[in-house]
Chain A
Amino acid sequence: MVLTAAMGMVVGIGIVLMFISVGKDYATGEIFDRLYLARDISLSINAFYSVPGNALITYKEDLGDYILKIKDNYVILNPDTNTEGKYTYVSDRKKLDYYFPSTETMLITKQGNELYITQGMEEFNDVISCLPDVVEVNSLIIESSNNLVESILTDSGDEKTIKESDFTNEIVKDLSSKLYGGSINTKVVSFSNGYNLDKFSRDIKNYDYSLSINYGKDDDFSKNDIIAYVNDNPNTRILACNILSSLMKRNIGITKTIIKTISGDRVSGFDSKSMLKYGNNIIYLEIGNIKAKNEINLINRVYDISEAIYDGIIDAKNEEPIIKTDRDTEEELIPVIGDK
């Protein structure tokens, strides 16, 4: 008797709670909101796949406190709840897989055939204008020349201080170790070690590209912009574009990416006239304010950056050739019209 009563109470409480939950969602309109947003996002994704070139939109609808999951042809808001909002979209060969525990501004970007969804980023300057062309990168000089004056980075959260030169040196070391033994012949140099410009100019001519990694000089710690200074060689711009694009894809708090073509003015601590004088394939990269909650995350962020730069170089090098008709099959490639 007691057991039966207890069982009845448990079931009754469960039923009541379920009714309250559903009723609340209905009364506040959240259930309609989730369904509407799921459909709207699905239609946006479908429409974006139709764009023949590159594109970018900021999704303006207020996603509030909803959990957003995009996976396996479904857009789901507040998944695994009684009143989730769910709708399907038609995916491309690469299925999307995103999970945002809390969504604010959502950015949908299409670059080539790939669709990316990120959150919280406002701008994507220049990066989506990368021409997907092949860049022959067989040799690379990596340089870290920011140590004209040692300055201190203060982590905005925990008052940890790390010398900025340590950052870029770590990035350079990690990047060169990743490239070591691969198809790209690399050489690491640094002006602070007495590597003078004469040697640098000789090496620049013998190497395909030079990548100078430097810390940003922005005093506004709320920003983390990455700027790539390049000359007007289109291949250099493509390489820089791929590196910036790779950095943007990572969730490391980058606020803006910019590619600037130098014209001979002084660029931060590096004489840009030297770039123009000594070679035409130099990328001067300013990493920006690297910030993290604690020292471990700070170090991890540094390695994230080096890995992203590595990915960008490899992406540029392995980009698909100029024309193919069926890229993913074993069929013989159809050559460029007019070649033969």
Chain B
Amino acid sequence: MVVNIFKNKKAQTTSEDTIHLVLLFLSLSILAYLFVMLISADSQGQYTISPGLEEKILVHRLLSSRSCFVYVDNVNRAYPAIIDYNRFNENNFKKCFDNEDNNYAYYVSLEVDFPEGTEKIELQTDNYNPVELENENPPINVLVKKYPREEYFIGKFRVNYHIVYNR
């Protein structure tokens, strides 16, 4: 039995075979790359952070960092959990909380009962989408100072956040 290995007597392959080989190598390269990416994606899950830790740290920043909303006195001491109502604005929020590329989106609100009436300010990061919010967190009571008043008021400070999936 004679087995013809070559297509013709001159041992030449056809252009069709060349294309098949090129496609094969290309596929192998892509598969290898996908394999590496899969491993990287899988290994991300090998280290897990305690649930809620990262979000809690970031929420804590809103209530204690001097560059966010906390009240700062005349000798430049910052008072955690005392909010300066005049500093609770979009500008300050963007400056103290640049969450670009972060895993979470945030919504922050402060509601205060002043003698002249209740006032509420709501702030959120650009990527916040209320539809994606799974659980709404209860508000916490904070002290609020509003210049030029000397007295403190009780405010309801609320922070909601959700995971950002499409980074």
**CA A19 – CA B34 in complex, angstroms?**
11
Cβ of A90: which chain B residues have Cβ within 8 Å of it?
58, 61, 97-99, 102
Number of interface residues, chain A, beta carbon within 8 A: 52
B32 at the interface (CB under 8 A from A): yes
- Chain B residues in 8 Å Cβ range of A93: 67, 95-96, 98
- Tell me, yes or no, whether A296 is within 8 Å of chain B by CB: no
**Other-chain residue from B47, B60, B74 in contact with A323 (beta carbon distance below 8 A):** B74
- Are B98 and A73 neighbours in the complex by a CB distance under 8 Å? yes
| Bound Cα distance from A323 to B147, whole angstroms | 12
A43 touches which one: B32, B57, B95 (CB < 8 A)? B57
B96-140 vs A, Cβ < 8 Å mask (1 yes, 0 no): 111111110000000000000000000000000000000000000
Contact A31 B43 (CB under 8 A): yes
**A131 to B150 Cα, complex, angstroms:** 24
Task: Tell me the residues in window 126-164 of chain B with beta carbons closer than 8 Å to chain A beta carbons.
Answer: 147-148, 150
A49 to B43, CA, bound (A): 28
Query: Is A149 part of the binding interface, using a Cβ–Cβ cutoff of 8 Å?
Result: no
Q: Which A residues are CB-close (under 8 A) to B47?
A: 32, 35-36, 39
Within the assembled complex, what's the spacing in Å between the Cα atoms of A83 and B64?
36
| A52 with B49: CB separation less than 8 A | no
The residues of A that contact B79 with a CB separation of less than 8 Å are 52
Nearest CB on B from A37, distance (A)? 10
B98 in contact with A11 (CB, 8 Å): no
Contacts of B87 in A (CB 8 A): 325-326
B165 at the interface (CB under 8 A from A): no
Partner of A325, one of B32, B46, B84: B84
How far apart are the CA atoms of A31 and B43 in the complex, in Å?
8
Which 5 A-B residue pairings sit nearest by Cβ, starting from the closest?
A52-B78, A93-B95, A50-B61, A113-B67, A15-B32
